[in-house]
Amino acid sequence: MISITTLKGVGPKLAERLRRLGLHTVEDVLLHLPLRYQDRSRITPIDQLQPGEEAQIEAAVVGSRISGNSRRFLLCHLQDGTGDLTLRFFHFSPAQQQWLCQTGARLRCFGEVRTGYTGGLEMIHPECRRIEPDTPPVEDRLTPIYPATAGLQQFTLRSLAEQALECLETAALLPELLPPALLDQLKLLPIAQAVRLIHQPPTDVALAELENGRHPVRRRLAFEEMLAHQLSLRRLREHTRRQAAPPLAGGSLSQRFLERLPFTLTGAQQRVLEEITADLAQPRPMLRLLQGDVGSGKTVVAAVAALRAVETGAQAALMAPTELLAEQHHRNFRDWLGELGLEVAWLTGRLTGKARRLLLERLAAGEVQVAVGTHALFQEAVAFAELALVIVDEQHRFGVHQRLALREKGRTEGRCPHQLIMTATPIPRTLAMSAYADLDTSIIDELPPGRRPVKTVAAPDHRRDQIIERIRQACRNGRQAYWVCPLIEESETLQCQAATVTAEQLTELLPELRIGLVHGRLAASVKEAVMAAFKAGKLDLLVATTVIEVGVDVPNASLMIIENPERLGLAQLHQLRGRIGRGGIDSSCVLLYKPPLSQVAHTRLAVLRECHDGFEIARRDLELRGPGEVLGTRQTGEQSLRIADLLRDQDLLNVVRHTADLLLRDHPDCVEPLIRRWIGAGARYGEV
């Protein structure tokens, strides 16, 4: 790897700006690909310019002036013999003014043409250069436009890319890492040729394909990047599989638990439980992703898995992303396992002082068999006597580092715990094949008997009075309802304020109803008391933020109002809707939106009205929002793809998987360099 500071003109200040783009080495510059291209290969006469198009002109300066009062701007008037054009600069230095405004000087300018205030043609802040005797002719290839950041100009990035391309030959950068036979078989260009063409495409290239990622040279790089990510996850899997784990054989506790349940497991739950039980009985770590739609019964399966650990004298830990979900899991586990004489601890960041110290001592001594909590579970002060099973709910809310940190809590005498990863956000197969290649997958694809589809309707905000009347009627009939105030801006404080104001308004409009309020800023004890009152039927209407999207089970609730649903993704809306329809009665969800809706928002709400299958909704969510949003990687900081797009390039996934098999089997020396090229330090997360 060659430091980016070896390139001409890169000092400490520029290096810091480049680091904001993730550019640390010359290799990084080569893989920092253009977003789009401009055609600067020809000069357009001024009389042929059209407003709205980008064009390049050559013309002489015939006059200039500074105009404006409160906001000064520089006007430079040009002529080329066919017409007139004005350059307008709102930001300029005296030096720029001097070389731009010299009458008779010839300029070559590139920019967007627009109709000026006086009706003539103008360009605002075009790229300009003085035409001197040694000025090179116009470009003979397309000009790249790169992703940039504040204080970083395109000409700087282009200069760095040109220098990096020179190093591509002289310093043998980006050596070919794929075997020649594989390149021939898959008809892939050598990587150096692909990189050069992407940075300096000829003018006759298929530009649309190059910009939308479908051109063979972009596909070549996307393939290698996806391959590196697949290999990284496979290596993580093999690294973990090579370790020992305590075999967790079945015993009487789990059987007694199943016999005490007031319901029978569905066929899908039984099938998944058999897969998990078989994994836990092995002397190597289980790595399993458990997917299931809202209300499919994943928590019961997790409880049985936890009992497998307890039956061997070991401990189990369940980690959830929010305190409300952790509370719900703790309550379920406490009620179920308490009947078997087991203690279930609850550990969150809010537990402090003597109570926290005593709990940590008892966990370390093995006196507490099951612990439920938030990310507080993997803090340094937390130690377990013998942690044999780690259960992580809503995996996509955590980073890989956090999940592995909890696993390390159970590493004793060369053995590490089994892992069960749960999600109620169904992940399309396309994403699962790539993002969870280190995990086996189990799917609960059957809902318990009595669950009915929730009727979903969309209503504009001006029908709010009718919706409020509908709540009154439902509660008069003995039912309960939710009113959800989702995140309107990126601020939990504003979200809580919105919920508080809504609760006050509804209390005034529905004085006969008992109304409760839950949001993320309430103390845990207050939230638990409100939720308990709602579940016990002591409240008719619960106003809440999106903290209730997972883990809340109130069978008598049959109506949900979701405000501003256009602000949420499909998966989150489906999660919220899953809080109702649990009691075998007809239930309705009203999406109360603020018109006008964008086309994407309109499509999103239409999908929710028409579809109740979580996996189909997840597939449509992927199409509408992209993999980063669906997987939550933008929020958790997970490693993401720079060039490939899992939606656009999903047809490459099968070839990527087969190629990963081939390299691991026949060309293991290629694996580490590929991972280092595309993932770098991020690849080391599997070795904590």
- Give CA–CA dist 248/658, Å, rounded: 33
By the 10 Å C-beta count (0-12 exposed, 13-18 middle, 19+ buried), 556 is classed as middle
| Same domain for 20 and 86 | no
660 closest CA partner among 502, 437, 383: 437
Mean pLDDT of 95-115: 91
Q: Tell whether 114 is covered by a domain.
A: yes
Peptide linkage before 596 cis (omega within 30 of 0): yes
Most confident option among 350-354, 450-454, 476-480, 545-549? 476-480
Q: Could you write out the DSSP letters of every residue in 46-104? A: GGG--TT-EEEEEEEEEEEEEE-SSS-EEEEEEE-SS-EEEEEESS--HHHHHHHS-TT
By the 10 Å C-beta count (0-12 exposed, 13-18 middle, 19+ buried), 472 is classed as middle
Torsion sign, CA atoms 437, 442, 446, 448: negative
- The count of structural domains within the chain is 4
Q: Tell whether 671 is covered by a domain.
A: no
Most confident option among 124-138, 500-514, 580-594, 599-613? 500-514
399 closest CA partner among 621, 678, 631, 687: 631
* Residue 128 near residue 87, CB atoms below 8 Å: yes
- Give CA–CA dist 51/25, Å, rounded: 41
By the 10 Å C-beta count (0-12 exposed, 13-18 middle, 19+ buried), 48 is classed as exposed
Q: Greatest CA separation found in the chain?
A: 96
* Domain limit, last residue, from 180, 212, 244: 212
| Same domain for 598 and 506 | yes
| DSSP 8-state code for residue 647 | T
Judged by average pLDDT, the poorest of 439-453, 492-506, 570-584, 665-679 is 492-506
Q: Of all residues in the chain, what percent carry a pLDDT higher than 70?
A: 90
Q: What are phi and psi of 442, to 5 degrees?
A: -120, 140
| Same domain for 432 and 338 | yes
Judged by average pLDDT, the poorest of 217-226, 377-386, 637-646, 660-669 is 637-646
| Same domain for 418 and 308 | yes
Q: Tell whether 666 is covered by a domain.
A: no
| Same domain for 406 and 280 | yes
Strand bridging mode 315-319 / 370-373: parallel
| Same domain for 310 and 427 | yes
553 closest CA partner among 448, 428, 456, 420: 448
| Same domain for 51 and 33 | no
CA atoms within 13 A on the CB side of 658: 8
- Give CA–CA dist 648/653, Å, rounded: 11
The model scores a pTM over 0.75: no
Q: Tell whether 49 is covered by a domain.
A: yes
Q: How far is CA 124 from CA 52, 113, 460, in A?
A: 12, 8, 41
- Residue 222 three-state SS: helix
Most confident option among 134-143, 183-192, 445-454? 183-192
- Give CA–CA dist 128/642, Å, rounded: 31
Higher pLDDT, 634 or 535: 535
Q: Grade residue 405 by pLDDT with cuts at 50, 70 and 90.
A: low
| Same domain for 561 and 414 | no
* Domain limit, last residue, from 114, 138, 162: 138
List the CATH number of the domain containing 129.
2.40.50.140
Alpha helices in 578-652, H assignment, sequence order: 599-610, 614-625, 627-631, 633-636
- Residue 574 three-state SS: helix
| Same domain for 410 and 393 | yes
Q: Tell whether 684 is covered by a domain.
A: no
Residues 582-617 pLDDT 10s: 777 889 999 999 888 888 888 889 998 988 887 778
- Residue 458 three-state SS: strand
| Same domain for 468 and 439 | no
- Residue 449 three-state SS: coil
Q: Tell whether 688 is covered by a domain.
A: no
Q: How far is CA 347 from CA 134, 217, 500, 525, 608, in A?
A: 72, 51, 28, 14, 36
* Domain limit, last residue, from 444, 466, 481: 444
Residues 140-193 pLDDT 10s: 899 999 999 888 989 899 999 999 999 987 777 899 999 999 999 999 999 999
Residue 637: pLDDT above 50? Answer: no
Q: How far is CA 469 from the centre of its chain?
A: 38
Residue-number span of the structural domain to which 312 is assigned:
252-444
| Same domain for 199 and 328 | no
Mean pLDDT of 531-543: 92
| Same domain for 528 and 559 | yes
By the 10 Å C-beta count (0-12 exposed, 13-18 middle, 19+ buried), 106 is classed as middle
How many CB atoms are closer than 10 A to CB 242?
A: 9
- Give CA–CA dist 541/579, Å, rounded: 13
Alpha helices in 397-491, H assignment, sequence order: 400-408, 429-435, 464-476
343 closest CA partner among 325, 320, 366: 366
Q: Tell whether 23 is covered by a domain.
A: yes
List the CATH number of the domain containing 412.
3.40.50.300
Q: Tell whether 359 is covered by a domain.
A: yes
* Residue 36 near residue 145, CB atoms below 8 Å: yes
